[in-house]
Amino acid sequence: MNMQEVIEQRLTETLDPVFVEVVDETHMHNVPSNAQSHFKLTVVSPEFEGKTLLQQHRLVNEVLATEIPKIHALAIHTYTPDEWFERAGQAPASPQCMGGSKPSS
């Protein structure tokens, strides 16, 4: 199982999300193609109800405690089901990498 699948499985098993998306954005960075080091997470879960954004992100970090040391960058977008509905099911786009350019092919 690759890192993207592991992350998705851990989040699904632990947070019982209404929606979860794990995007491997490693290809957007100047790293080897098989690095599996940059991820964007969007998690919509009733588990986030009544929690601050910081508490929501800490919960995700706890769930992924074993995986995080192996990841270079992790963008976390967490929402309650109502917040997700208000956003029309859209998470923000990731910014361009500022840590170096991707070698041209």
pLDDT at 35: 60
pLDDT at 4: 87
Sign of CA dihedral 43, 44, 48, 50: positive
pLDDT at 105: 47
This prediction has a pTM of 0.78
**3-class secondary structure, 12:** helix
Q: In degrees, to the nearest 5, what angle opens at C-alpha 6 toward C-alphas 94 and 86?
A: 45
Top mean pLDDT of 22-26, 29-33, 77-81, 101-105 is at: 77-81
Lowest mean pLDDT among 41-55, 66-80, 86-100: 86-100
Mind listing the pLDDT tens digit for each residue in 32-61? 567 666 788 999 999 999 999 999 999 999
Exposure on the CB side of residue 56, measured as CA atoms within 13 A? 20
Nearest by Cα to 73 from 33, 17, 34, 23: 23
* pLDDT surpassing 80 at residue 68: yes
Q: What kind and span of H or E run contains 40?
A: strand 38-44
Which amino acid, one-letter code, is at 64?
Answer: L
Q: Which domains does the chain have, with CATH numbers?
A: 3-86 (3.30.300.90)
Q: Are 71 and 35 in contact (CB under 8 A)?
A: no
* pLDDT surpassing 60 at residue 100: no
Give dist(CA 21, CA 36) in Å, integer.
15
Q: Please, which pLDDT band fits residue 80 given cuts at 50, 70 and 90?
A: very high
